[in-house]
Structure 1
Amino acid sequence: MTLRQNSVTYREMYRFPVAIMGTEVVLRVGAVGVVSMPDSLGARVQSLLQPAQHAGPVFADPDTGRWVFLTAGIPTCDPAYGSLLSEAGVRIVEWGEQVALPLLSESSKPTSDERRWLWPPGYELPQPGPFVAELLGAIHRFGHRGDLRGRALAG
């Protein structure tokens, strides 16, 4: 699958606002939100989201050690939780920013691009409210033991 075919598939099949930039397909954040976090927290959040059916597309970026979650719009959070999210290494990507997506076909994947879908598109995007509630729950549940927060700050 060529870069152009990847772009068309993302746009037409999944309704993602994407463009081609160089050798990447990038998502323009807006209608689709993006939340990234350290992989240790990402795995725990995903384990909470799956049973509640609040999970959606998730990809791993091994170069940064982060998991990237897509949502139906940009999540918002009470400002009182901003420092908690920051301490846990969570970043809610702002409107208009661009995020490179993994390519859909291994055969056209550049060797320097290790991003890969853990849960590929094709499912309904999770609503931001329940997603943030589960995320905060995971931070509260696992962060008080110190192991999660320590790893998040190190990453």
Structure 2
Amino acid sequence: MIQNRPAPRWLRELAHGRDAYEELLGWPVSVQVGDRVLIVLIGSSIAAITMPATLGAAVREELSVAMQNGPVLTDPDCLKWTFLTRPPDCLRPGVAACLAREHVDLAPRGSQVVVPTTPTRRPTPVGTAWRWIDPPAPARPRPPAYPVIAITRHLTEHAHLAA
């Protein structure tokens, strides 16, 4: 005999979070059941730039001054920050390699990035979940990738010159 049981709470939370991302932001978010996370597809509407948290904090500060800030999330251990932006049309040859030397990764088209369970900021203990540094806002579009890349390059080049 088949017995219907309600879905586990974690699965209901992920499904609700996925719905919130799609309804509020129009983001292509999916549930990855095996890892119990939400993922966003990197492609024609969303780009992701991941860097060490210390560099991310400096980039975020500069973006804020330039009024180019957007959604920023951190991994459970707060070691890496990811900036979600509009995708760049094209990058000059060598830019991605230059950034990679600084441990800055541009997520390739077709890859996936984990996002927090909800598109709003919610307190979670460090080491337990992905969370927002700056959550997305429905009325505010993601900034272009170019300011994030330019500020990151400026800060890392400046650090090398000072060393």
**TM-score normalised per structure 1:** 0.81
Residue 153 of structure 2: which of 129, 136, 154 is its match?
A: 136
Identity level (%): 26
Q: Cα offset for 1:75?
A: 6.8
Residue 115 of structure 1: which of 108, 111, 130 is its match?
A: 130
Mapped to 1, the partners of 2:100 and 2:112 lie a distance apart of: 20
Confirm or deny that 1:17 pairs with 2:34: no
User: Which deviates more from structure 2 when the two are superposed, residues 54-63 or residues 26-35?
Assistant: 54-63
Structure 2 vs 1, CA of residues 121 and 86 (structure 1 numbering), >3 Å: closer, same or farther?
A: same
| Matched length | 145
Structure 1, residues 103-141: CA drift from partner, whole Å, max 9, x if none?
12759x7x9742110000113201122222222122222
**More relative contact order, 1 or 2 (CA 8 Å, 6+ apart):** 1
Correspondences of 1:52-71 after superposition (within 5 Å): 52-63=66-77, 65-71=79-85
Q: Cα offset for 1:83?
A: 3.6
Correspondences of 1:6-155 after superposition (within 5 Å): 6-22=17-33, 23-30=36-43, 31-63=45-77, 65-74=79-88, 76-104=90-118, 113-122=128-137, 123-146=140-163
Mapped to 2, the partners of 1:71 and 1:59 lie a distance apart of: 12
Q: Which consecutive aligned stretches of 4+ in structure 1 deviate over 4 angstroms post-superposition? A: none
SS of aligned partner of 1:103: coil
Q: Cα offset for 1:77?
A: 3.0
Mapped to 2, the partners of 1:20 and 1:80 lie a distance apart of: 34
Mapped to 1, the partners of 2:77 and 2:17 lie a distance apart of: 21
Q: Cα offset for 1:55?
A: 1.1
- 1:77·1:132 contact (CA, 8 Å) conserved in 2? no
- 1:59·1:68 contact (CA, 8 Å) conserved in 2? yes
What is the identity, as a one-letter code, of the residue corresponding to 2:161? H
**TM-score normalised per structure 2:** 0.78
- If you compute each CA radius of gyration, which structure gives the higher value, 1 or 2? 2
RMSD: 2.5
Segments of 5+ residues of structure 1 without an aligned counterpart are 147-155
